[in-house]
Structure formats: C-alpha cells, structure tokens
Structure 1
C-alpha cells in the first residue's frame, strides 16, 4: 500500500479561505454605514446574501472541492 503523500492544495486552500474571510470582513465593514441605514427587514437579506451566498456557498464550495480532489467542477 502506498503511503499518503501530503498535498500542497490543503495549505494553499486554507490561506485562500483566510484571504476570502479578510476581504469579506473589509467589504462588509466598508458597507456597514450604508447597510446600517436600511430598515432592519432589509438588512437581514443583505447580510444573508453577502455572507452565505456570496462568500460561503459559491466560492468555498468549489474551493473545498479543489482542496480535496484537485478539480474545480463537480463530476
């Protein structure tokens, strides 16, 4: 049985995740004045869209797939 060789993709992916989180925090922080002036019922969908959809589901889904398999697309 062949020994498991470590992959460079996992450390590179972790740094990419940290970079995405940092960029997201800067972006949301810079938009907080604008978002804070919106009514509360509009703030929730904005933060959901910015947080869940824009930073977590779309980019991280493929990034995690790449870290594990080396492919960007699902089979």
Structure 2
C-alpha cells in the first residue's frame, strides 16, 4: 500500500515541477527574460524525463511480476 502512495506522491511532484517550469517559461517570455524562459524549458524537460523514467520502471516492474507469476 505504501508503495502505491509513494508512486502517487512522485507523480504529483513531477506534475508540480512541470507546471512550475511552464510558469517560469511564460513569465520569462512575457517579461523578455530569456534566461528565465530557458530555465522554465529546462525544468519542464527535466520533469518530462522523470515521468518517462518512472513509466519505464513501472513497465519493467510489471514484466518482472508477470514472469514470476508464470513460473509459479
């Protein structure tokens, strides 16, 4: 049960990071601050990468679970 809660917290944290990055990007674009805009893009890309990595981990975990069930 706690593993499920941990995954939900991790997912929420990534979504918050992605939204924060989007906000920085928009603020930079509106203010003309190229550095802030680039920082926002970087933050969003980092959040997207973490999300993709989490997806890969879950798929590998599922494959491992299915292999264990087949052997029982």
Q: Tell me which interval the TM-score lies in, with the shorter structure as reference length.
A: 0.3 to 0.5
> Relative contact order (alpha carbons < 8 A, sep ≥ 6): 1 or 2 greater?
1
Q: Please give the TM-score of this superposition, normalised by the length of structure 1.
A: 0.44
Greater share of helix: 2
